[in-house]
A and B are shown apart, each in its own frame.
Chain A
Amino acid sequence: GDSVTQKEGLVTLTEGLPVMLNCTYQTIYSNAFLFWYVHYLNESPRLLLKSSTDNKRTEHQGFHATLHKSSSSFHLQKSSAQLSDSALYYCALGSSGNKLIFGIGTLLSVKP
């Protein structure tokens, strides 16, 4: 069945360093949609990025990700971490059904 893997449960960075959160997925469907959601403390999860196009970079709010179907990956990147980026980040897969499959989430903690 479909699945999403986020290997890092916690990523701790110093402000100003680059961010890379890993996401890989498994599905038999060629037209999968991949999403990154961000969940700030005491707020609701909300969409950060979305893509279904192979090898196309998608950007929003300083973050970017490129869907690579050859390696089934959709890693989230940012050139310079800010304190305000501290949050829980979910990668999610939408394929043939009417639901999303979420990874377990990566908690990003940015320190001064």
Chain B
Amino acid sequence: EAAVTQSPRNKVTVTGGNVTLSCRQTNSHNYMYWYRQDTGHGLRLIHYSYGAGNLQIGDVPDGYKATRTTQEDFFLLLELASPSQTSLYFCASSDAGGRAEQFFGPGTRLTVL
């Protein structure tokens, strides 16, 4: 049974559109992360959180908001989507920050037209 799930798996929107990507983990982990994956750039951290209500800014946060509503749920919000945000988005969870294994979800492919 998958411990990190993401929805939707695929999303197409238009420039200026509003998009919410969802992530749920059942690992009972404190840390959750949002990454984008792009050829030539690898995995880049957008935002992360170490508990409900907590939010930390990652390395490429511009144009993204995030919210951690519970220990299980972490959302990524694109309020005015742009074509540069077309990417494959991964959510991950971990029980000990940068010292422990991160468990990744299946990814969401977002296309902004």
Contacts and interface: CB of A to CB of B under 8 A. Distances in A.
A59 B22 CA distance: 35
A33 B100 CA distance: 8
A8 B23 CA distance: 32
Given A33-B99, A44-B90, A47-B101, A90 B50 contact: no
A111 interface: no
Interface residues of A, number: 23
A105 B42 contact: yes
B45 A99 contact: yes
Interface stretch (B12-20, B70-78, B103-111): B103-111
Contact of A90 (B43, B58, B107): B43
B37 to A, nearest CB: 8
A99 B98 contact: yes
A6 B50 CA distance: 28
Contact of A102 (B44, B56, B99, B100): B44
A98 B42 contact: no
Contact of B42 (A33, A96, A102): A102
Nearest to B49: A98
Contacts of B67: none
B102 A47 contact: yes
Given A95-B98, A97-B98, A99-B98, A46 B44 contact: no
B48 A99 contact: yes
Interface of A: 6, 9, 33, 35, 43-47, 50, 52, 90, 94-100, 102-105
